[in-house]
Amino acid sequence: MRPVELSLRYCRARGQVAGVVERFIHQRKIRIDLFGFADIMAFDSWTTDAVQTCTLSGWGDHVTKLESTPYASQWVSREQNRRTLLLGWRKKGRFWVVRVGLLVNSKVVVTLDEDRPGAP
pLDDT at 19: 98
Structural domain boundaries of the chain?
3-113
SS3 20: strand
User: Would you give per-residue pLDDT tens digits along the chain (120 residues)?
Assistant: 899 999 999 999 999 999 999 999 999 999 999 999 999 999 999 999 999 999 999 999 999 999 999 999 999 998 999 999 999 999 988 889 999 999 999 999 998 877 655 445
Which DSSP category does 77 fall into? B
What is the gyration radius of the CA atoms in the chain, in angstroms? 14
Which DSSP category does 93 fall into? T
CA pair distance 12, 43, nearest whole angstrom: 9
Q: What is the dihedral of CA 66, 61, 95, 50, to 10 degrees?
A: 10
Which amino acid, one-letter code, is at 90?
Answer: R
The fold adopted by the segment(s) 3-113 is Trna Endonuclease; Chain: A, domain 1 (3.40.1350)
